A and B are shown apart, each in its own frame.
Chain A
């Protein structure tokens, strides 16, 4: 079944065309990576799929629900991690996870979900400390845990390792891989093409509001006779 179906999506901010008519689909259970440079339209696409932004034209279907007409149905099935997301600084890590869990379940299940969040975050005893005492890496891992603890059918992750050092980045990538193995769908974006190559089953190259090409990392590398996705992207731009 198709998790996301985007057809000729355009998004305009005033006079700026952020998306100029993109189309792609993501199947259930896939990790789909959007790669491209800053300002290419990755975050705008993710924000539209997350129902934060409205469509200028075109259609976005998530599990068959139109993002314009049934955003509340989509919100029940997704979990969105913005690139520069923060957590409530005056709450402790566990209070933050508990607060978020209440929107997805109730009763005893809340504590089960929180336990899972604590386990994903790897914060151990520090989970009871206030968020404002966390390092950037700890906060990001808490946020990733928040996004994945409720086992959403679709996780939308914008630059999941943004601002993290090598060790923390590697830990977060492992968390995402483990999560996808359980059957959930992941739509992620990154300008780190090697990261996307490591994580994704399928990739779309996006530049200047257009999809330049898409396929599995192996297909793309073969198509452009490139060794990695960075080279693929440079070739795709050159062929325009």
Chain B
């Protein structure tokens, strides 16, 4: 086994046996994310269950006219409503009944309701929402009533048009103008509204920056910890006097951390995908492939390289920073303070396209190696490989410069003598 591989395997073994690394690598992504997702899913399902049951709605008809009956009939036919007709005419008593019978809404159709509609004067019903708890499900089911009233209104309008203008098409009168949306993507006309396509692209490019941010911070911490542990446990001095080049030591340590970070990346992607799927309604099946926007193998490869380069940049930066520290805690603090401000700006790209941003912000984002995978995630969907390749080239130059500095520092005594400590100094008594 070569000297480089000896360091590489030692590094991997050492990291894999560290309980802290296992917690960060397995527990967080593979257990915590799905657990969080499960919690959200359970919450969403309870809301859906509440909605499926139909909103318990009491109704008092003080009008008894044809439109009041049509209104009640429409409500009865609506699957979102569980209608209970009350015989009392006393609203206060009806509210009490609603409260004690688990009704969420009470509607009162006043006298003259049908006459007003008949005379095109518009009519009003009194609606009382009964809130007992503050659960999301309860609030959603109450707010659903507005939607239901909208649907019922439309049905009443259709009935009126049929009665008043025999032979006319009620739908054409209610919506004299309609649109049929098409979207042009990459010169191809797709019969899907643009909003839907943008939603799909956004949901695809949302996952990259979030996973990347978590991964970069984790990998940087891991690299810094690996180097700082050598210093804290006093193993670095021995390592530096072995008959092996300093570059091999640096490369072996980085390689070991990078290998573990690949395992970690897979765990994060699995965990986060499960987490994200908790929010997606199961019946939405529009995929990028369906609208001709699937990522080609070349695009996928380029995105992978871009992500890997960002990880490599984080590793090299963390190694340099860790060289200056004396212990693990100081290394982790220094890395967090330094890497976080470099990673967070990329989150802007979750909400905005790089080309729509002010020039200064655009330059800052392009100068950061961690923004490029997010830019690449969108660009590969559109087959715009130029910007992706440019980004990878920039990341490569950035990483090489940082690696060169790291190698220079490793070949001098600075690796032994540099000292930054965030630990509180003990007061001398």
Residues of B within 8 A of A90 (CB): 13-14, 17-18
B13 engages A95 (CB within 8 Å): yes
B13 engages A89 (CB within 8 Å): no
Choice from B14, B244, B245 contacting A88 with Cβ under 8 Å: B14
Known: A52-B240, A104-B243. A88 touches B235 (CB 8 A): yes
Chain B residues within 8 Å of chain A by Cβ, number: 23
Say how far A16's CB is from chain B's closest CB, in angstroms: 12
Say how far A134's CB is from chain B's closest CB, in angstroms: 13
Say how far B144's CB is from chain A's closest CB, in angstroms: 57
Does A106 count as interface, using CB distance less than 8 angstroms? Answer: yes
Known: A52-B240, A72-B245. A91 touches B10 (CB 8 A): yes
A80 engages B237 (CB within 8 Å): yes
B10 engages A88 (CB within 8 Å): yes
Known: A52-B416, A95-B13, A99-B6. A75 touches B235 (CB 8 A): no
Provide the bound-state CA to CA distance between A76 and B242, in Å. 7
Residues of B within 8 A of A54 (CB): 412-413
Say how far A235's CB is from chain B's closest CB, in angstroms: 33
B243 engages A75 (CB within 8 Å): yes
The residue in chain A whose Cβ has the minimal distance to the Cβ of B1 is A102
B417 engages A13 (CB within 8 Å): yes
Residues of A within 8 A of B233 (CB): 86-89
Residues of A within 8 A of B17 (CB): 90-91
Does A50 count as interface, using CB distance less than 8 angstroms? Answer: yes
Secondary structure type dominating chain A contacts: loop
Which residues 10-69 in A have Cβ within 8 Å of B in the complex?
13, 47, 50-54
Residues of A within 8 A of B429 (CB): none
The residue in chain B whose Cβ has the minimal distance to the Cβ of A50 is B241
Say how far B81's CB is from chain A's closest CB, in angstroms: 63
Provide the bound-state CA to CA distance between A79 and B1, in Å. 21
Residues of B within 8 A of A76 (CB): 243
B241 engages A86 (CB within 8 Å): no
The residue in chain A whose Cβ has the minimal distance to the Cβ of B3 is A103
Say how far A91's CB is from chain B's closest CB, in angstroms: 7
A82 engages B10 (CB within 8 Å): no
B14 engages A102 (CB within 8 Å): no
Which bucket holds chain A's interface residue count?
Answer: 20 to 34
Secondary structure type dominating chain B contacts: loop
Known: A53-B417, A84-B234, A86-B235. A99 touches B241 (CB 8 A): no
Which residues 385-429 in B have Cβ within 8 Å of A in the complex?
412-413, 416-417
Say how far B402's CB is from chain A's closest CB, in angstroms: 23
A53 engages B245 (CB within 8 Å): no
The residue in chain B whose Cβ has the minimal distance to the Cβ of A100 is B242
Known: A90-B14, A91-B10. A51 touches B241 (CB 8 A): yes
Residues of A within 8 A of B235 (CB): 85-88
Provide the bound-state CA to CA distance between A91 and B9, in Å. 12
Residues of B within 8 A of A85 (CB): 234-235, 237-238
B413 engages A52 (CB within 8 Å): yes
Say how far A204's CB is from chain B's closest CB, in angstroms: 21
Residues of A within 8 A of B241 (CB): 50-52, 75, 78-80
Residues of B within 8 A of A13 (CB): 417
Provide the bound-state CA to CA distance between A53 and B416, in Å. 8
Provide the bound-state CA to CA distance between A47 and B14, in Å. 26
Which residues 6-20 in B have Cβ within 8 Å of A in the complex?
6, 10, 13-14, 17-18
Provide the bound-state CA to CA distance between A228 and B242, in Å. 36
Provide the bound-state CA to CA distance between A52 and B234, in Å. 13
B237 engages A82 (CB within 8 Å): yes
Say how far A188's CB is from chain B's closest CB, in angstroms: 15
Say how far A189's CB is from chain B's closest CB, in angstroms: 14
Residues of B within 8 A of A47 (CB): 237, 416
Which residues 227-251 in B have Cβ within 8 Å of A in the complex?
233-235, 237-238, 240-245
Residues of A within 8 A of B242 (CB): 75, 100, 103
The residue in chain A whose Cβ has the minimal distance to the Cβ of B15 is A90
Provide the bound-state CA to CA distance between A91 and B17, in Å. 8
Provide the bound-state CA to CA distance between A80 and B10, in Å. 20
Provide the bound-state CA to CA distance between A133 and B173, in Å. 85
Contact mask for chain B residues 4-42; partner A; CB cutoff 8 A; 1 contact, 0 none: 001000100110011000000000000000000000000
B234 engages A103 (CB within 8 Å): no
Say how far B248's CB is from chain A's closest CB, in angstroms: 10
Provide the bound-state CA to CA distance between A106 and B1, in Å. 7
A80 engages B417 (CB within 8 Å): no
The residue in chain A whose Cβ has the minimal distance to the Cβ of B14 is A90
Known: A54-B413, A80-B238. A72 touches B14 (CB 8 A): no
Which residues 209-230 in B have Cβ within 8 Å of A in the complex?
none
Provide the bound-state CA to CA distance between A87 and B237, in Å. 11
Provide the bound-state CA to CA distance between A99 and B242, in Å. 11
B244 engages A103 (CB within 8 Å): yes
Provide the bound-state CA to CA distance between A100 and B237, in Å. 13
Provide the bound-state CA to CA distance between A45 and B234, in Å. 18
Provide the bound-state CA to CA distance between A82 and B235, in Å. 9
Provide the bound-state CA to CA distance between A102 and B243, in Å. 10
Choice from A75, A91, A100 contacting B14 with Cβ under 8 Å: A91
Provide the bound-state CA to CA distance between A88 and B417, in Å. 21
Choice from A53, A88, A102 contacting B6 with Cβ under 8 Å: A102
Residues of A within 8 A of B14 (CB): 88, 90-91
The residue in chain B whose Cβ has the minimal distance to the Cβ of A54 is B413
Say how far B391's CB is from chain A's closest CB, in angstroms: 37
Central interface residue in A53, A81, A85, A102, by most chain B CB within 10 Å: A102
Given A91-B10, A103-B243, 17 extra CB contacts under 8 A: A13-B417, A50-B241, A51-B240, A75-B242, A76-B243, A80-B237, A85-B234, A85-B237, A86-B233, A87-B233, A88-B10, A88-B233, A88-B235, A90-B14, A95-B13, A102-B6, A104-B243
Can you list 12 residue pairs at the A/B interface with Cβ under 8 Å?
A50-B237, A53-B416, A54-B413, A72-B245, A75-B243, A80-B238, A81-B238, A86-B233, A86-B235, A87-B233, A91-B14, A103-B6
Shortest 4 CB-CB contacts between residues of A and residues of B? A90-B17, A86-B233, A80-B241, A102-B6
